[in-house]
Structure formats: structure tokens, C-alpha cells
Structure 1
Amino acid sequence: MTSPIALRGQEVRRRLLRAAVELIPERGWSAVSTRLLAERAGVTPGVVHYHFSSVRELLSQAALGTMREMLSGVHALFEQARSATDAVDTMLAALEEYSGRDPASMVFTETYLAATRDDDLRHAMTEIVADFRRRFADALARWRVPDPAGTAAVVAATIDGILLHRGLDPGLTAASIGPVLRRLVPDAKTVEEDAG
């Protein structure tokens, strides 16, 4: 049984992580301070460093948790999709929830930028991206898509780029980019027909 003190500590950590996820898109990674985190979470500044060794660690854990959570649903779609193009269409439909300027998109963008200056964060993000690509490549291999690992890498980078560009060009919708992505990931039947 968990003690009341441990439960309170867990709740404070959750509030701090939630505050970080809110502040990253509002202020930008480098502008989030101990004071801002403490105010948003409703705790004293000393509590921030009691639970996390640094603001950087707190921001990293919050952002990586958000990324894992967002991508966790994508893995299930690979199991449910009937074909490679079905998987691409489902990913594009999910992408429609994000404008490129919404809080979740901004967390991704800020985290990618921060990872260029933080080796630990970059390694952790690389693991998340590699896991996504591996699962997608496994699904592509089941659907007999040529070069599944290379295709998964290009599609993942394209989806990330679309998310980034949507902040500048809201016209990058699933309807406008779907036909192009579908050509990158043909179904096995189409591949076999082209070869024959």
C-alpha cells in the first residue's frame, strides 16, 4: 500500500509534468523557468528541484511522455490496417487534429529543437522515433512494400515535416498530400502489377 506522503509526491510530480507540457508551447523551451513551473503547478520553487534534478530534466520527461502518449495509438493502427495505403490514410486522418500551431504540435517542435542542443534528449527522442519506424517497417514488410525500413523512415520524416509546415501553410491537409504519400507506399497488389 502506498503511503499518503508518497501519493502526494506522485500528484505533485504529475502537476509539474502537466505544467511543463502547458508551458513549453506557451513560452518556448528555453523560457520555462523554475518559478513559472512552480506557479503553474501551485507549488513552491524548491519543490520543483525536490522532484527533478533540473528544469531541463522536467521538460524532457514531460515532452518525451507526451510524444510517447501521442504515438502509442499509432502502433495499434498498424495492427488494424488492412494495407499500407490504409495505414497511411489513417495516419493522415490523425494528423488532421493538429494545426502545427496547437499545443501538442508546439511541444513536438520545441522538443525537436531542444534535442539539437541536448544529447540526452536527442538519444531519448531517437529511441522513440526508431521504435515508431521499426513498428511501421514491420507492418510494411507484412504488406510486402519494397524497402520497408527505408519507406518507414521517409514516411515518418514526411509526417513530421508536414506537421511543422502546417503551422505556416494550413492548406497541407490529408486531402492535398494523401495522393503523394500513397504513391510512396503502394499496396503489394499495385507493386506486383507494376512488376508484371
Structure 2
Amino acid sequence: MAPHHPEDVRVKAAKTPRRAVAAADRTRQPTEVRRRLIVEAAVPLIAERGYASVGVRDVAAAAGVSVGTVTYHFGSVQEILSEAMVLNIERYYAALNEAAEEASGGAEALRLLIDALFTEDTDRHWRMWFDYWSAGDRDQDPEQAFAGGQAKRYEDWHGQIRALVERGVADGEFVCADPAGFTVRFAALSDGLALQRLRQAPPLSTEDARRHMYRLVETELGTGGR
């Protein structure tokens, strides 16, 4: 995470009315920087406590700013938490995409993707993802911001999986007449396994979750298993 500097987010509390130039500089120092600091502070709170248990005071305390600063930059707690979830999710999938792009082919890329989906460290990501998934149902969301965000995340995720399958088909590694259908099943199985792993009902290890994903790839795309 980017380091945060309390002095950047407390400028309104500083009593420097005569320092016009410095004040102007601080004003140009942007709202976006302050918003980002607040959002960055919200990410671990959501991961640790869950969306429903985080309030504006919690976010303000974590960011080292006043409640007024938070409410000045954000219209609601939901807006903060929506941005925090999107930030975490985009970082997570950007890292997966980078690893897949560096793979020698579609088969290796899918295996890297599966390995990265299920580790002890990714439990935090999955908790946030399912929280994000259900947040729009729990809260009033007249503009459908959460639903729109979820749809965009899924669209990007499906596009990434399908591109890897098509890459493997083009290289002669896979046999697949329906990359779109495979993509739906791959995404659905990964979501289902992640939820089972978090709930541990029934118990599921990261190794077993990966093994189920490998089997799907092997069965549908004709690759060799481990």
C-alpha cells in the first residue's frame, strides 16, 4: 500500500490563514490524494471485520483524519467501502493477469492462475469479494453502484479466462469448441470452492481446491493433469 502522510490529510485543522501560497499548494494537493488515503485505510478494516461492521468513525481513525474530513470527501460509508473493495479486487486481478501474461502458453497460464487463486494469503481477497458481492443486497443502492461494479469485475475476470483458453487453442495446447461456456464453469467453480474454503463446510484445503480446478481444465480442455 502507498504510505500515508497525516500532514496531507489534516490541512483543514492547521491554523495558517495567512500562508496563502502554502494553502493554495495544499488545496491543489488534491482531493484525490486524500480520498485515496481514506480508501487505503478502509481496505484492511473490511478484510478483518467485514463490510457490515465498519463505520465512518472506524475509517477516520484508521486513516488518521477527522470524521468531518471523511464525510467531506465521501457521500456515504458505502461509497468508501465500495471504492476500497474495488481497489483491492483490481490489485488482486492485476497481479494474476501479469503472472498469466508472462507464462509460456495458455496451459501454464491457467495453472498459474489456479495456483494463485487458492493460497492461504488469498483468503483475505475472497472474504472481501463475497462481502462485496452481497453488499448491494444488504444496503439501499438506488444507483446500483455495487451491482454495476460487480458486473464490471466479472466481465473483466471472464475476459481474462477466455483469453487464456483461446490462446491455448491457438497454440494447439487445448481443444475447446466453447471457450465462453468453459469460462462460465471455471469462474463458477472457483467462486464455489472459495466460498467452501472460507466456510470450511465441509473442510477444504488449498491443495484440494486447486486439484478440483485442475480436473476441470484437464477434462474440458484435454490437458494432462498433475
TM-score of the superposed pair, with normalisation by structure 2: 0.71
Q: Mapping of 1:98-177 within 5 angstroms? A: 98=120, 102-117=123-138, 118=141, 119-144=144-169, 145-169=176-200, 171-174=204-207, 176-177=208-209
- 8 Å CA contact 1:81–1:87 kept in 2: the answer is yes
Higher relative contact order (CA 8 A, sep 6+): 1
Q: Which amino acid aligns with 1:155?
A: F
- 8 Å CA contact 1:25–1:110 kept in 2: the answer is no
- Structure 1 distance, partners of 2:166, 2:147, is 28
- 8 Å CA contact 2:106–2:165 kept in 1: the answer is yes
**Structure 1 stretches of 4+ moved >4 Å:** none
Aligned to 1:194: none
Q: Decide which structure has greater helix share.
A: 1
Q: Which amino acid aligns with 2:216?
A: L
Q: Which amino acid aligns with 1:183?
A: R
Larger radius of gyration: 2
Provide the secondary structure at the position in 1 that maps to 2:29: helix
Q: Mapping of 1:53-68 within 5 angstroms? A: 53-68=75-90
- Structure 2 distance, partners of 1:31, 1:177, is 29
Aligned to 2:54: 32
User: Among 57, 60, 69, which residue is 1:47 paired with?
Assistant: 69
Q: Deviations over 1:36-89 (max 9, x none)?
A: 211121111111121111111111011011111100122233333344442332
User: Among 213, 216, 219, which residue is 1:181 paired with?
Assistant: 213
Aligned to 1:16: 38
Q: Which amino acid aligns with 2:124?
A: P
Q: Deviations over 1:142-193 (max 9, x none)?
A: 222331111112112222222222123363323x2444323322499837xx
What percent identity do the matched residue pairs reach?
Answer: 28
In the alignment, structure 1 residue 90 sits paired with structure 2 residue 112: yes
C-alpha distance 180-146 of structure 1, shift in aligned 2 (>3 A):
farther
- Structure 2 distance, partners of 1:148, 1:4, is 51
5+ residue gaps, structure 1, are: 192-196
- 8 Å CA contact 1:15–1:41 kept in 2: the answer is yes
More moved, 61-70 vs 90-99 = 90-99
TM-score of the superposed pair, with normalisation by structure 1: 0.81
Count, aligned residues: 188
- 8 Å CA contact 1:25–1:107 kept in 2: the answer is yes
5+ residue gaps, structure 2, are: 1-23, 170-175
